[in-house]
A and B are shown apart, each in its own frame.
Chain A
Amino acid sequence: MTELKALSPAAGLLPLEIGGAALREDEMRQLTLVAPFKGKEAALAKALEAAHGLRWPEAGETSVSGAVRLVWFGRGAALLMGGEASSKLAPYAALTDQSDAWSCLVLEGAGARDVLARLTPLDMRDVAFPMGATARTEVFHMACSITRLAAESWQIMGFRSMAKTLVHDLQVAMEGVAARAS
């Protein structure tokens, strides 16, 4: 019997710790893109609440319930992370499995924000990007999703096929920030 082996997007590339910043690949989670159908936003919100205990996130927000998070993921869509989407959502939203589409990295440490400032035009100040804030933005040349997990911890999601470049670009920035501090 043949068994297919699973590989994570950044397999063999991480973790990295350079100066005051550490980069690791997050565990592979179930990812489902939830995009409410026309006029079904309210019904979906109700079903989400009932099935997952999650509030529908406004633009730039994350909604959390236990280990499951619902991260705003662009116009009319949110990404359900860390749990299987309830079939009760199906009548109200297009549910698309994205579990293998994204490489999910976590950058943390005292130097993490300075590293990100080398890569994204996003305003990362506390006032503009508090805990739980999320954004679709550019990371060097790539379209990514950035979410603030904690005071010094950010989740960076990029296309799976570009994982190596994402790690490369982050590493170069980390080295630059670390070298300045020395």
Chain B
Amino acid sequence: MRLQGKGLINRSRKVRFSFDGRSYEGFEGDTLASALLANGVKLMARSFKYHRPRGVLTAGSEEPNALVTVGKGGSQDPNMRATVQEIYEGLEAVSQNRWPSLDFDVMGVNDLGAPFLGAGFYYKTFMWPKAFWEKLYEPVIRRAAGLGAISGDPISDKYERGFAHCDVLVIGSGPSGLMAALTAAEAGADVILAEEDSALGGRLLSESGEIDGTPARDWAEAIVGRLDAMDNVRIMTRTSVTGAYDGGTYGALERVAHHRPLAKGLPKECFWKIAAKRAVLAAGALERPVAFQNNDRPGVMMASAVRAYVNRWNVAPGQAVALFGNNDSIHDVAADLLAAGVHVAALIDSRADARCALDVPFYAGAQACGTEGRKALEAVSIARPSGIEKVQADCLGMSGGWNPTLHLTCHMNGRPEWNEAIAAFVPKVGMVPGLIAAGACNGVFSTAACLGEGVGAAQAACEALGLKAKVPQMPRAEDRPYNIAPLWAVAGKGRAWLDFQNDVTVKDVKQAAVENFRSVEHMKRYTTQGMATDQGKNSNVQALAVLADATGRGIPETGTTTYRPPFTPVAIAAMAAGAADKGFAPERFTTSHRLTVAANAPMIEAGLWYRPSYFPAKGETTWRQSCDREVGYVRNAVGVCDVSTLGKIDIKGKDAGAFLDFVYTNMFSTLKVGRVRYGLMLREDGHVMDDGTTARLAEDHFVMTTTTAAAGEVMKHMEFVSQGLRPDLDVRFASVTEHWAQFAVAGPKARELLNGLLDAPIEGESWPFMACGNVKVAGVSGRLFRISFSGEHAYEVAVPARYGESLFGELRKRAEKLGGGAYGMEALNVLRIEKGFITHGEIHGRVTAFDIGMQGMMSKKKDFIGKAAAMRPGLLDEDREMMVGLKPVGVVKQLTAGAHLYNEGAEPVRKNNQGYLTSVAFSPTMETFLGLGFLRGGRARHGEIVQMVDHVRGISTTCEVCHPVFLDPEGERSRD
């Protein structure tokens, strides 16, 4: 029911929304919870396990009960807290975990079975037979118990991430936070004020006190106005700081569009990473429930929530409100209810010495001990020394005291300490370096003290930053002592709820203790208390107090479970913000990409690069047809292939040669200018890292090529060698991978093709095999290398990337005129396998130079990276798996990569494994499958017959072991 009064709702702006398909009206400024209560809707959810009817418990982000689903399909958000969800025109929310409806839930039958469904029930009951757990029990239980569900559709919303930086991050905007932000900002600090709520002011928005003689809410508004006007203050509302991390880094979730319809480009949420030199935690405190029989009826809520609904949203959560608690808070709430004209049915104070100044039915030294009503509260039973009395009430506000919201202080392994005086845990100083807790989250509850703590924390933060914070005129405010008598659970029969979200009762926790789950961590896992979206914010302290009692220990000895980020739930989509689809990783395109795609070439990913698989010609129906044709281009005419993806590093300086000698196994300082040499690079552990060619363009200038896959790794390695091992060498390098577009031109007609484009054509043997130099390509300065990865007479020609597309088009056109054309990765692979050239298929990280037959390339004349380790006897063992060639010689002609090798007649089991295949191809040149692989002692076994078995594909082939170079072993074609 809506009350008169000046809450934070805009009565001139009506908002229509729906809940479970029914249309309602609220006001701008309402949350879903406040609007539903205003419409008299108390039943908002069914509980997790027993499907008990539940209403709203709180008015904040800690809400355990009133979880709803908002949106549909790819935009569906389960478990949205009705207390956080603001209403907007057209909002559609539905309740969860019920069937067929919230009002009539078939699974409510679980509640009748409650005596059997207590803690540990599942563990004990569904043990046997084992296979039934996964196939039968778990799916059934999951359907019966649970929270909201995702739609299963791909997400259609946009999520964003952001980075922010500040001197002082103030978390929370209650009295402490506002004073901290103001003090720090006036001292000149860059301040970020992060507030989880949609409005600033914290508890001041829900209370009725005064500060400096004006209503506290007005005072807050004035401070916010001052902050807003300062350039060095950034106010972030609807932003929950969810985690404290190393080095002053904080995670924060901003709800950008949960309170409005989504518009194009608008992110639903933004996950901020905030780097703060200092932080002030002013997160306030959370009121805790008291456990008593049937304390979970819709209508039973926190006293502070009652107060918030009345004062902030002008909603009476009931016609007759009872209040029950163990501290002074309930008296304040009662006063506000009276002021708002709401009937207070009973004020039940468990403290025997409590006094009441209000004109309400007052019960001192009494406890609420039961409730009536199924889908809504109807009556409350009060246990007094004289007996049990029943009062009619449709709302009960309870207060078991206040827990400082200290979660963030514990995110870096800190444990809070127990403060007996306030019966709560409080943070210890310095648990998160650079973060100071102030006000209620520090266990200080009066408004005046909170204002002071905010100032003090900001001063300390400023001082640490070398800023001088002025001592402000302290505002006048309420400064009453906090008076509490601990009360965790009211004695009595029946189910007294501790954890509303997980349906955990006092009995469950006691049961855990009986079964020797005495550690608080064990109790949590056994009962599930403290799990799911509220992470026990409403139940942890009471549960561990009950556990402490049941185990005969004190609360400090029992301790708390570990607080971990996030403070409030964060959607995975928010953490992965922007990283889906095109945002997953950068796409790298070669300069020939556009023409290649236009030629209908299917593209494959090579690391981040996209490269053509093959270029289909008219009439071809399989990739093999295209591939075979392209291989033919290179073997018989001329083929063109974009090889720009290979890493290219310019290496300069007087010690460039010496440096290369150190990173390569073979010598490069002796390489003549104008020549290219193949080089092999090891890791320091003696295994092959990468290979490639390096050309010497001038005395002090080399250009190295790396494989596409290892380009980044090699660059990083070279930086390490240069900076960390050999800073004495005068050498500088720069990646030029991106600067040069480079194309392989391979085949008997390669020279003929190039000569049509080079300003100075190659004459005779002026560019012998492994020659290199600068050239002009159609007037453009480029580089030419006579190198071959196909075994044919071949070149690689490089021009600045801006000309790449144009040159590729030109090369392809000219190649086609010569009976050739462009070739893709499939053909490239066949060509290199025919020649026994390795790729990372072979040098996969576990092989040595010895294994691939390149032990001769390990120079004895110098030290090099990996030399000492490569010389270890085990890495030179003649029984190691060595690279070999394999040809099918039996009935089955197919070879498959990844298949294993066995001796003829040996059972194909692991202990008989002799090796494996790394690369296979059908060679159109030799009209057979060819394979490269590794075989125990393989170099001495050429001519032997072995069995290839592919257990996955079910293929078995008899193979002959041979030399890995199948074609032109003398290399005559490339030298022609």
Contact = CB atoms under 8 A, between A and B. Distances in A.
Chains A and B touch (C-beta atoms under 8 A apart): yes
Interface of A: 1-9, 18, 28, 33, 35, 37-39, 75-77, 93-94, 96-102, 117-118, 120-125, 127-128, 140-142, 159-162, 164-166, 168-169, 172-173, 175-176, 178-180, 182
Contact of B265 (A98, A162, A176): A176
Contacts of B589: 161, 164
Contacts of A35: 652, 732, 734
B267 interface: yes
Given A98-B738, A169-B578, 20 more contacts: A2-B810, A6-B803, A35-B732, A37-B654, A98-B736, A100-B738, A100-B739, A100-B740, A100-B800, A101-B739, A102-B738, A118-B162, A121-B163, A141-B586, A159-B588, A159-B738, A165-B587, A166-B586, A172-B583, A176-B160
27 contacts: A2-B756, A4-B777, A6-B803, A9-B801, A18-B265, A35-B732, A39-B730, A77-B734, A94-B652, A96-B652, A97-B739, A98-B736, A98-B738, A100-B741, A100-B802, A118-B578, A123-B165, A125-B190, A140-B586, A160-B738, A162-B586, A164-B589, A165-B582, A175-B264, A176-B267, A179-B265, A179-B266
B582 A168 contact: yes
A118 to B, nearest CB: 5
Given A94-B653, A180-B256, A120 B578 contact: no
B165 A128 contact: yes
Contacts of A173: 160
B807 interface: yes
A74 to B, nearest CB: 10
Interface in B747-778: 756-757, 777-778
A4 B807 contact: yes
B570 to A, nearest CB: 17
Using C-beta atoms within 8 Å of the partner chain, give the interface range for chain B.
35 or more
Q: Max chain B CB contacts within 10 Å: which of A37, A96, A124?
A: A96
B251 to A, nearest CB: 13
Given A2-B778, A162-B586, A120 B734 contact: no
B974 to A, nearest CB: 27
A121 B802 CA distance: 31
A60 to B, nearest CB: 16
A161 B778 contact: no
A178 B265 contact: yes
B163 A37 contact: no
A38 B730 contact: yes
The interface residues of chain A, by DSSP majority, are classed as loop
A182 B736 CA distance: 43
B588 A99 contact: no
B585 interface: yes
B164 interface: yes
Contacts of B810: 2, 4
Contacts of B739: 97-101, 160
Interface in B212-256: 256
The interface residues of chain B, by DSSP majority, are classed as mixed
B275 interface: yes
Interface in B587-612: 587-591, 608-609
Contacts of A38: 653, 730
B158 interface: yes
Contact of A37 (B162, B608, B730, B733): B730
Contacts of B806: 4-7
Given A37-B730, A161-B589, A172-B578, A96 B650 contact: yes
Nearest to B777: A4
A4 B758 CA distance: 12
Interface of B: 158, 160-165, 190, 256, 263-267, 270, 273, 275, 578, 582-583, 585-591, 608-609, 650, 652-654, 723, 730, 732-741, 756-757, 777-780, 799-807, 810
B587 A162 contact: yes
Contact of A3 (B162, B652, B737, B779): B779
A161 B779 CA distance: 24
B70 to A, nearest CB: 19
A7 B591 contact: yes
Contacts of A121: 163, 273, 275
Contact of A179 (B264, B590, B801, B802): B264
A117 B652 contact: no
A169 B582 CA distance: 8
B160 A76 contact: no
Q: Which 3 A-B pairs have the closest CB atoms?
A: A175-B265, A179-B266, A94-B652
B732 A94 contact: yes
Contacts of A172: 158, 578, 583
A100 B588 CA distance: 15
Contacts of B256: 180
Given A121-B273, A123-B275, A178-B265, A3 B778 contact: yes
Contacts of B264: 175, 179
B585 to A, nearest CB: 6
Contacts of B730: 37-39
A161 B802 CA distance: 11
Contacts of B583: 140, 168-169, 172
Given A33-B734, A164-B589, A4 B799 contact: yes
Nearest to B160: A176
A96 B583 CA distance: 31
Contacts of A76: 732
A161 B263 contact: no
Contacts of B650: 94, 96
A180 B653 contact: no
Contacts of B158: 172, 176
Nearest to A174: B265
A161 B738 contact: yes
B734 A96 contact: yes
Nearest to A3: B778
Contacts of B653: 37-38, 94
B615 to A, nearest CB: 21
A37 to B, nearest CB: 5
A163 to B, nearest CB: 8
B715 to A, nearest CB: 11
A176 B266 contact: yes
Nearest to B741: A100
A50 to B, nearest CB: 21
Nearest to A168: B582
A123 B274 CA distance: 10
Q: Max chain A CB contacts within 10 Å: which of B164, B777, B799?
A: B164
B588 A161 contact: yes
A169 B723 CA distance: 33
Contact of B190 (A28, A39, A75, A127): A127
Nearest to A129: B165
Nearest to A182: B263
Contacts of A125: 165, 190
Nearest to B712: A143
A33 B275 CA distance: 32
B586 A8 contact: no
B23 to A, nearest CB: 28
B609 A161 contact: yes
Q: Max chain B CB contacts within 10 Å: which of A4, A28, A160, A162?
A: A4
Given A4-B803, A159-B588, A118 B778 contact: no
A59 to B, nearest CB: 15
Contact of A4 (B582, B609, B780): B780
A128 B163 CA distance: 14
A120 B163 contact: yes
Contacts of A124: 165
A1 B759 CA distance: 10
B162 A117 contact: yes
Nearest to B577: A118
Contacts of B732: 35, 37, 76-77, 93-94
Contact of A160 (B162, B164, B801): B801
Nearest to B700: A94
A75 B799 CA distance: 27
A162 B273 CA distance: 25
Nearest to A124: B165
